[in-house]
Amino acid sequence: MRSFVKTKTAIALALTVTAGAAQADGHGGVEVLHWWTSGGEAAALNVLKEDLEGQGIGWTDMPVAGGGGEQAMTVLRARVTAGNAPTAVQGLGFDIIDWAKQGALANLNDVAAAEGWDAVVPAALQQFAKVDGQWVSAPVNVHSTNWVWANKAVLDANGIAAPETWDDFAAALEKLAAAGVTPIAHGGQAWQDATVFDAVAMSTLGPDGYKAAFIDLDAEALGSDAMIEAFKRMDVIRANVDDNFSGRDWNLATAMVINGEAGFQMMGDWAKGEFLNAGKVPGEDFLCFRFPGTQEQVTFNADQFMMFDQGGAVSSQQAALASAILSPSFQSAFNVVKGSVPARTDVSNEAFDACGKQGMADLAAAAGSGNLFGSMAHGHANDAAVKNAMYDVITAHFNGEYDAETAVMELVDAVEIAQ
Q: Could you list the residues that contact ligand GAL (CB under 6 A)?
A: 35-36, 41, 67-69, 92, 143, 250, 268, 270, 301, 303, 378
Question: CB of residue 381 vs ligand GAL: minimum separation in angstroms?
Answer: 13
Written as one letter, the residue type at 108 is L
With respect to ligand GAL, which residue has the nearer C-beta, 211 or 338? Answer: 338
Which of 68/163 has CB closer to ligand GAL?
68
Are 171 and 236 within 8 A, CB to CB? no
Task: Tell me the closest approach of the beta carbon of residue 408 to ligand GAL, in angstroms.
Answer: 26
Question: Considering the complex, what minimum distance in angstroms separates the CB of residue 170 from ligand GAL?
Answer: 27
Tell me how far, at minimum, the Cβ of 185 lies from ligand GAL, in Å: 15
- Nearest-approach distance from CB 158 to ligand GAL, in angstroms: 29
| CA-based torsion, 34, 37, 42, 44: positive or negative | negative
Nearer to ligand GAL, 92 or 337 (CB): 92
Q: How far is CA 143 from CA 226, 231, 268, 351, in A?
A: 26, 24, 7, 17
Integer-rounded Cα radius of gyration of the chain = 21
Question: Residues near 175 by Cβ (< 8 Å), separated by ≥ 6?
Answer: 158, 159, 160
**Alpha-carbon distance 379 to 263, whole Å?**
28
Q: Indicate the residue among 41 and 198 with the shorter CB distance to ligand GAL.
A: 41
Q: State the nearest-atom distance from the C-beta of 65 to ligand GAL, in Å.
A: 9
The residue among 94 and 250 lying less far from ligand GAL, judged by its C-beta, is 250
Please state whether 376 falls in left (phi above 0), alpha (psi between -120 and 50) or beta. alpha
Smaller CB distance to ligand GAL: residue 238 or 338?
338
- Least distance (Å) between residue 30 CB and ligand GAL: 19
Backbone angles phi, psi at 205, to 5 degrees: -85, -20
In 159-224, which ranges are continuous DSSP H helix? 166-178, 190-210, 219-222
Q: Which C-beta is closer to ligand GAL: that of 286 or that of 334?
A: 334
Closest to ligand GAL by CB, 35 or 214:
35
Distance between CA 362 and CA 221 in Å, rounded?
26
- Minimum CB separation of residue 171 from ligand GAL in Å reads 30
Residue placing its CB nearer to ligand GAL in the complex, 69 or 86: 69
**Sheet with 143-144: strands ordered across:** 143-144, 298-301, 372-374
Report the residue closest to ligand GAL, judged by CB.
67
Cα maximum dimension of the chain: 63
Nearest to 391 by CA among 69, 1, 11: 69
Q: What is the DSSP string of 120-136?
A: HS-HHHHHHHEETTEE-
Identify the three-state secondary structure at position 373. Answer: strand
Least distance (Å) from ligand GAL to the CB of residue 78?
Answer: 20
